[in-house]
Structure 1
Amino acid sequence: MSERTERTERPDTSATVGTRDFLLPDLGEGLSEAEIVEWRVAVGDVVTVDQTVVEVETAKAVVDVPCPYPGRVVALHGAAGEVRPVGQPLITIAALDGEDAADPHATYREEERAGSGNVLIGYGTGHGGPGRRRRRPRLSVAPEPRTPAPADSGSGPVSPAGSSAVTGVSPGASAPDGSPAPAGRASDPARTGGPAPAPLVISPIVRRLAKERGVDLASLRGTGPGGVIRRSDVETALSAPAARLAAVPDAPDAQFAPTGDGDVVVPLTGIRKVIADKLSRSRREIPEVTIWVDVDATGLLETRTAINAATPAAPVSILALLARICLSGLRKYPQLNARVDTAGERIVQSAGVHLGIAAQTDRGLVVPVLRDAQRLTTAELAGALAETTAAARAGTLPPARLTGGTFTLNNYGVFGVDGSTPIINHPEAALLGVGRIVDKPWVVDGQLAVRKVTQLSLTFDHRVCDGGVAGGFLRHVADCVERPALLVANV
């Protein structure tokens, strides 16, 4: 039996007393496996918390994987070049003599199971050339430098929230009686006169959550075994933001410290938090591109006037006409009425157009959806738009009416601006923006004239199409705005 086969088929040691299996974590973006590039430790080595033990390569990048358990390596599951699935044992660690196998580090698995989404946050990604075995910079486990406290504060340094330290005792430090300090336990600053202990945090999820939400870990009292700070402790602190600000007046990050009298602190909760999370996800995941064009909207305004003169009981808005034009364009360019399914590695073009309309309300920006808008006449579109936006501003729309869009129309011209590069409403693939309509000099049949001019912008997901499709759609919309007769020809 080869060495590779022997190592990969080693019996499961997770049930052995005093040992723990560290499973290959989800390394992000729905990746289900990773190839072992290089082991950084060998059987018999002693490892510390968050020490890098292996370098793996996924379909996206090379990643350094730190181990959350301290102890001695008793088994490596897999050889260099072998592909390991997520969730399978990667390395087996045995507790050192005198160390409790059920120490606070066991909390890590609970935190991993309770993580945000499917990604084990905190495992940094290396950057470098395409060579498989080139060393990449290690970004994930290097501890941040301690920030010295002011000389007159009377307190020791406080470990930053992103620190990978688990104890305030330096390697090789001794207890007051001269004996070695126990592993994983901080010295008592009241007895030693030394620095305050660093917060006892094991899970990278907890450290990242605290850093993103502005929680000073040094101010928290851990409720986990041995005082470990758990995810629930951070979330409890988040529920009382005002108290948290008052509790950390010496926080090293100025954005979390109290400021002058009269400042207003607004918790990022409710719909504001939903908006922030969705827009952040869109900007993080979608490679968006924005193109724009100035158009003469004089003909469109004249068409609306003529329609409303003929049907005064059912007036049509400019927004309804623009919606009709968008529907015409999406029928010609269905690539933009789509979404990217990253898990399935495919692009899904929707059969119907579920048109989202960006609406500003007192509670924030919402995007109510008109389902199967392509089935509505222009008059029905106008009525549905008026009813939907009114309900959105009143806050009476059910949640189902605010999801499931496939394309969004955003009239930011109501704010008195000409142009914008809006963020796509995830998971959609495109958004048409319309600026204000104003009088501007325009050349008509070789003569300078004053016309009603607006700017149209199209922001699209470059994964679903290239510039030819996006430019063709925007040009079709612009032509219909300038010559509404073209719209009639395509309805």
Structure 2
Amino acid sequence: MTRASDMFSREFRLPDLGEGLTEAEIVRWLVEVGDVVAVDQPVVEVETAKAMVEVPCPYGGVVTARYGDEGTELPVGSPLLTVAVGAPASDAAAPAGAGGGAGKGEDEGSGNVLVGYGTQAPAARRRRVRPSAPGATPGHRSPGPSTAADRTVPAAPPRPVREERPPAAPAATGGSRTDGPVPVISPLVRRLARENGLDLRELAGSGPDGLIMRADVEHALRTGAPTSTSTLTPMSASAPESVAAPVAAAAPARASGTRVPLKGVRGAVADKLSRSRREIPDATCWVDADATELMRARTRMNEAGGPKISLLALLARICTAALARFPELNSTVDTDAREVVLLDEMHLGFAAQTERGLVVPVVKGAHARDTESLSAEFARLTEAARTGTLTPADLTGGTFTLNNYGVFGVDGSTPIVNHPEAAMLGVGRIVPKPWVHEGELAVRQVVQLSLTFDHRVCDGGTAGGFLRYVADCVEQPAVLLRTL
């Protein structure tokens, strides 16, 4: 039986989330203080900008503390909980290369890796570079014997980023921190301060050992914390300090009203749409099509038995055939190389509305699937979106998006291209309308189709040809037989 004196605490921090994610929101705690947890047991459910996942703890023991209430947003590297684990092995008994320091019992953890993918035993150890001594060249390490404290588990949360002073600055800025680098939790915090002209040396960090957190920077911006006149603004970051314009200390007046934070999925959507609007010169064309024959063909397919075919799957099959004819629309733009990259595979994204907001799951390898396979994959991803179990892999890698906004009862739309893709096909509602059919006025099932495309990858002729081919397949599904 382990006595209290034989226990010691291990702090588990929010691990690296992967996929470029830097923060997560606590949705639901799965353990309480005092609970006994096993190695790799999920302890908290978090929502990232990509998906909702459970975070497993790499330590086994008794939960002695939790950090953050449900609804709290935490950056990567922030403490999640503290676990009291068994007594550490002696230095002599510790395995060679055990990371984290003598007497810390690193071998009791499992080596946490990406959120949502469980944990695993560490296969190798990574050396941690100490801060350079004054006068040392960047990346230089002082010679000396290697100790256990110099090693760490490979997938451990990143060390606080140090805000190094610009080499060109001959003197201190006069803030409260003048004796070296400033500890910052992540590059995101450093960038936020830099873009708002905030001198990090004027802040008192609320994290461990004065670590500056994102909340500290945001609080300083809200309250109008003083900034150094030598702080460079983003527009003059390459100019000498002597010509840098001073930054106003007063914060702008805040508008009154209910404030809804842009975070999680909603925040990720806002960032992507803003980037798309900034970078992509988009244009939209549209056409009305008689979908009567397509609806009849779907009815006959489903009457023949076998798995039911969804309308979205038929439209997806039409899209893949059209993209094969017009590959410019299944592409992306490499702005650095000034090249249009025509992609070999078609990964079809589709918009799905959920309680957590709009998400875009991706059907991988859509060009290699038949209509039944497409229908089954759409059903699987839609159900996962509704239950919040989509993985980051399910939400990334799309090359073309199909947006069926007709489910909201609207006829048309001019959507924003899903960056970094080149085009998006929009489908409105299918409704009975007067239509000239075979020279006579009749009531037909009519749908409006729209194509929003990146004008850098093609001109209007290519976009119009793609949309016309899609409309022809909707009006006469037999056209698809040429490519099946």
TM-score by structure 2 length? 0.54
Equivalent pair of 2:400/2:421 in contact (CA under 8 Å): yes
Evaluate the alpha carbon distance shift between residue 464 and residue 113 of structure 1 in structure 2; reply closer, same or farther with a 3 A threshold: farther
CA distance in 1, matches of 2:308, 2:217: 49
The one-letter amino acid of 2:289's match is V
Instruction: Confirm or deny: 8 A CA contact 1:434 1:456 kept in the other structure.
Output: yes
Distance 1:332 1:342 in 2: 25
- 5+ long unaligned stretches in structure 2: 1-165, 206-210, 226-249
| In 2: Cα distance, 1:406 partner to 1:273 partner | 22
| Match for residue 205 of structure 1 among 185, 195, 218 | 195
Show structure 1 runs of 5+ residues with no match: 1-90, 96-100, 122-202, 208-216
Q: How does 1:27-66 map to 2 (within 5 A)?
A: none
Please give the secondary structure, in 2, of the residue aligned with 1:426.
Answer: coil
CA distance, structure 2, for counterparts of residue 272 and residue 258 of structure 1: 21
Q: Does 1:268 align with 2:296?
A: no
Alpha-carbon distance change, 114 to 102 in structure 1, aligned in 2, over 3 angstroms: farther
SS at match of 2:341: strand
Offset from partner CA, 1:160-209 (integer Å, 9 cap, x none): xxxxxxxxxxxxxxxxxxxxxxxxxxxxxxxxxxxxxxxxxxx75124xx
- Counterparts of 2:456 and 2:338, CA distance in 1: 11
Aligned letter for 1:381? L
2:201 matches 1:224: yes
* Higher Rg: 1
Tell me which amino acid in the other structure corresponds to 2:324: R
Residues 299 and 240 of structure 1, relative CA distance in 2, 3 Å threshold: farther
CA RMSD of aligned residues (A): 3.6
What is the CA distance between 1:237 and its match in structure 2?
A: 5.0
Q: For 1:277-316, what per-residue CA distance to the aligned partner results, in whole angstroms no more than 9, with x for missing partners? A: 11111111111111100111001101101111112x3111
Q: Secondary structure at the match of 2:416?
A: coil
CA contact (8 A) 1:282 1:426 kept: yes
1:398 aligned partner: 391
Tell me, in whole angstroms, the C-alpha distance in 2 between the residues paired with 1:109 and 1:463: 44
Q: Normalised by the size of structure 1, how large is the TM-score?
A: 0.53
SS of structure 1 residue aligned to 2:196: helix
The 8 Å contact of residues 104 and 226 in structure 1, kept in 2 or not, is answered as no
Deviation of 1:461 (Å): 0.6
* Distance (whole Å) between structure 2 residues aligned to residue 487 and residue 382 of structure 1: 17
Alpha-carbon distance, 1:224 to partner: 1.3
2:172 aligns with one of 95, 102, 125: 102
Following superposition of structure 1 onto structure 2, how do residues 340-379 of structure 1 map, counting pairs within 5 Å? 340-379=333-372
Distance 1:357 1:420 in 2: 15
Letter of the 2:381 partner, please give it: T
- Aligned mates of 2:280, 2:386 — CA distance in 1: 28
Q: Sequence identity, in percent?
A: 55
Question: How do 1:14-33 residues align onto structure 2 when only pairs under 5 Å count?
Answer: none
In structure 2, which of residues 282, 307, 324 is the aligned counterpart of residue 288 of structure 1? 282
- Output the amino acid matched with 1:293: V
Residues 94-144 of structure 1, C-alpha deviations (whole Å, 9 max, x = no match):
86xxxxx122489999799976699x89xxxxxxxxxxxxxxxxxxxxxxx
The separation in 1 between residues aligned to 2:380 and 2:167, in whole angstroms, is 61
Report how far residue 374 of structure 1 moved: 1.1
Cα distance in 2 for partners of 1:458, 1:464 equals: 14
**Pair 443,473 (structure 1): closer, same or farther in 2 beyond 3 Å:** same
- 2:222 touches 2:251 (CA, 8 Å); kept in 1? no
Q: Give, as a single letter, the amino acid of the residue that structure 2 aligns with 1:389.
A: T
Matched, 1:322 2:300: no
Query: 1:392 offset after TM fit, Å?
Result: 1.2
CA change 1:448–1:344 in 2 (3 A) is: same
Counterpart Cα distance in 2 of 1:358 and 1:224: 44
Q: Give 3-state SS (helix, strand or coil) of 1:295's partner.
A: strand
Number of paired residues?
A: 288
The letter of the residue matching 1:272 is R
108-117 or 346-355, larger mean C-alpha shift:
108-117
